[in-house]
């Protein structure tokens, strides 16, 4: 866990706490259907954390999931996250997922708008 400090015009980051991935039991996104940056990490104790944004929360969860799959291969529970944005095999997948997701949502919204404006014969 990193603490962000601003001293005059300088920004500093201080490591406050460290954990081992093998000790992580579960990541709880709290609410999958709302756009919030809050989540809980369950170790021997539950830590409530806040990410910079909802997108960074999902990026963090994806990264932990990939690290777990590559090195530990243990059953890591990730709950209250939208699976569409967590899995690499989803249609939203890309190196820059967040931009791609936004682009696809805009594309679908534009198509719906065009279809709603078409006169029915």
* pTM exceeds 0.75, yes or no: no
**pLDDT per residue as tens digits for the range 2-21:** 888 888 888 888 888 899 99
Asked whether residue 91 is domain-assigned, the answer is: no
Asked whether residue 40 is domain-assigned, the answer is: yes
Asked whether residue 77 is domain-assigned, the answer is: yes
Asked whether residue 108 is domain-assigned, the answer is: no
CATH number at residue 75: 2.30.29.90
Asked whether residue 121 is domain-assigned, the answer is: no
Asked whether residue 54 is domain-assigned, the answer is: yes
DSSP string, the chain: -EEEEEETTEEEEEE-----GGG--EEE-S-TTS---EEEEESSSEEEEE-SSHHHHHHHHHHHHHHIIIII----EEESS-HHHH-TTSTT-STTHHHHHHHHHHHHHHHHHHHHHSPP-
**pLDDT per residue as tens digits for the range 64-95:** 999 999 999 999 999 999 887 787 555 544 45
Asked whether residue 39 is domain-assigned, the answer is: yes
Domain count of the fold of the chain:
1
């Amino acid at each position: 866990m990193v603490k962000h400090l601003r001293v005059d015009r300088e920004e500093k980051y201080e490591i406050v706490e460290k954990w081992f991935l093998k000790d992580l039991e579960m990541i709880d996104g709290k609410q999958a259907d709302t756009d919030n940056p809050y989540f809980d990490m369950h170790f021997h104790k539950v830590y409530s954390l806040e990410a910079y944004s909802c997108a960074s929360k999902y990026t963090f969860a994806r990264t932990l999931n990939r690290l777990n799959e590559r090195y530990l291969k243990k059953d890591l529970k990730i709950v209250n996250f939208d699976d569409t944005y967590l899995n690499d095999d989803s249609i939203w997948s890309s190196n820059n997922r967040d931009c791609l997701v936004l682009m696809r949502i805009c594309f679908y919204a534009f198509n719906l708008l065009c279809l709603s404006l078409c006169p029915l014969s």
